[in-house]
Structure 1
Amino acid sequence: MSSPKYKRVLLKISGEVLGGKNGGLDYDAINSVATQVADAAKTGVDLALVVGGGNIIRGTEAQNFGVARTTADYMGMLATVINSLALQAVLEERYNLQTRVQSAIKVSSVAEDFIRRRAIRHLEKKRIVIFAAGTGNPYFSTDTAAVLRAIEIQADLMIKATKVDGVYDKDPKKYADAKRFESISFRNVLEKRLQVMDSTAIALCMDNNLPIMVLNIFEQGHIVDAIMGKPVGTLVHSGE
């Protein structure tokens, strides 16, 4: 296998991907994700992960039932810890990979506290680091947390693995004539209000020149292709 284009990559996985069709924890879905993560690790890239918690709880839904926003956000953070531990278990038991879960909120019985220098050291030792619990603060999405961690570990690329094969000018599920971009600038994403990530996350990427590759995680091999620099999904970048 040829050398990867990127030395260090952070992979953002939505929680819904781990929930399969029924939500909760779908271990077939988790194993499918773990297979792609294991293949990505074989390229020799330094690999970190951030997993959402939407398959277990969505903060907006909790708020609709009267749960305070702050409490709902902390519930979501704990959901990401559950997902991170589930993915860690499959990666270690089935694929014999060394992993570490680092949490932004203290759950020391099951995960390390997030310490940037320790995380980088794990990556240098080719351990997969799974960052859990978002930023540790309410009012910030897991997308923003993923960008923040990617910047902190000096990642060369952030991959956002979703159920969609890239960024479109409008919802491809609703509009048959939706156009997919092969590449697009951060500025255009903000101006067109495209639903790539929240505006805070996009602004962080733009300010720190962190490119994002948006791709469909259910397309086997696309994560490896992105790491190797092959054209998949949509590349969001600083250029025009």
Structure 2
Amino acid sequence: MYKRILLKLSGEALMGNQQFGIDPKRLEQYTSEIKATKNLGIEIAIVVGGGNIFRGVQAEESGIDRVQGDYMGMLATVVNGMALQSALEKAGLFTRLMSGINMEQVCEPFIKRRAVRHLEKGRIVIFGAGTGNPYFTTDSAASLRAIEINADVVLKGTRVDGVYSADPEKDPHATRYSSLTFQEAYEKGLNIMDMTAFTLCQENKLPIIVFDMNKNGNLLDIAQGKRAGTLIN
């Protein structure tokens, strides 16, 4: 179904049932899902958030400057990227960690052509440090990197099985959408991604699929063209 995908994972997803940090069991589950998808011959890029360690938007509440807090959040995404890279390599997959902020001892700087070449050689590329700029979320980074590497789709892995009319964890009457246009999602005020990320995908005709990453086999099903989650196109 897809030749090249960009998988967006939230930092909170890596916590599993913990209150903080990285759950080894959740990391192992995600690694298994990614490996099964990679075995189909699909090129995979990943953007991971840092909310399980630090969120820039929470910085101001603790008296930290917003810009400083955002950079702290970017470093948290690199920590998660290193953990994911280690887990994937332990499973026998070749990976490269690339960062929007230069830190040569830890990872490569993001260079578009180099990232594409890694993908063409069959390596999984993990993008850390967001866009490298404050005031941009990792959703925006996922959209931007997907466009830069010419990905076919953005797969946003969450803990719910798609986009709902309301928060399904709070409203038992919330209904799930199987598909939406960008315009419909905008008019309904659905909180799929932040507006910058959403607009980038819309303007570049890049589809988004929101799905439950915690359900075994979901990522593999989507990669094979089976319907799961919500498609925004």
Match of residue 172, structure 1, among 138, 156, 168: 168
Match of residue 55, structure 2, among 55, 58, 71: 58
Counterpart of 2:7 in structure 1 is 11
Match of residue 140, structure 1, among 136, 148, 167: 136
Alpha-carbon distance between aligned partners in 1 of 2:189 and 2:54, rounded to the nearest angstrom = 26
Alpha-carbon distance between aligned partners in 1 of 2:232 and 2:41, rounded to the nearest angstrom = 24
Matches within 5 A, 1:12-91: 12-21=8-17, 22-91=19-88
Q: Where in structure 1 are there 5+ consecutive unaligned residues?
A: none
Matches within 5 A, 1:86-125: 86-93=83-90, 95-125=91-121
Contact 1:57 1:75 (8 Å CA) reproduced: yes
Query: Under a length normalisation based on structure 2, what TM-score does the superposition of the two structures give?
Result: 0.98
Task: Give 1:179's aligned amino acid.
Answer: T
Measured after TM superposition, the shift of residue 192 of structure 1 is 1.4
Deviations 1:56-111 (A, max 9, x none): 01122221011111011000000000000000001001x10000000000111010
Alpha-carbon distance between aligned partners in 2 of 1:63 and 1:230, rounded to the nearest angstrom = 43
Q: Are 1:224 and 2:217 matched, yes or no?
A: no
Contact 1:190 1:202 (8 Å CA) reproduced: no
Alpha-carbon distance between aligned partners in 1 of 2:66 and 2:188, rounded to the nearest angstrom = 28
Counterpart of 2:202 in structure 1 is 206
Measured after TM superposition, the shift of residue 197 of structure 1 is 0.3
Alpha-carbon distance between aligned partners in 1 of 2:191 and 2:72, rounded to the nearest angstrom = 24
Measured after TM superposition, the shift of residue 190 of structure 1 is 1.5
Deviations 1:120-164 (A, max 9, x none): 000000100000000000000000000000000000011000111
Alpha-carbon distance between aligned partners in 2 of 1:141 and 1:61, rounded to the nearest angstrom = 13
% same residue: 51
Task: Give 1:81's aligned amino acid.
Answer: V
Q: Are 1:128 and 2:124 matched, yes or no?
A: yes
Q: Which runs of 4+ in 1 moved over 6 A?
A: none
**Secondary structure of the residue that 2:97 maps to in structure 1?**
strand
Match of residue 191, structure 2, among 183, 191, 195: 195
Contact 1:216 1:222 (8 Å CA) reproduced: yes
Alpha-carbon distance between aligned partners in 2 of 1:125 and 1:158, rounded to the nearest angstrom = 21
Task: Give 1:186's aligned amino acid.
Answer: F
Task: Give 1:70's aligned amino acid.
Answer: V
Task: Give 2:231's aligned amino acid.
Answer: L
**Secondary structure of the residue that 2:117 maps to in structure 1?**
helix
Alpha-carbon distance between aligned partners in 2 of 1:223 and 1:67, rounded to the nearest angstrom = 37
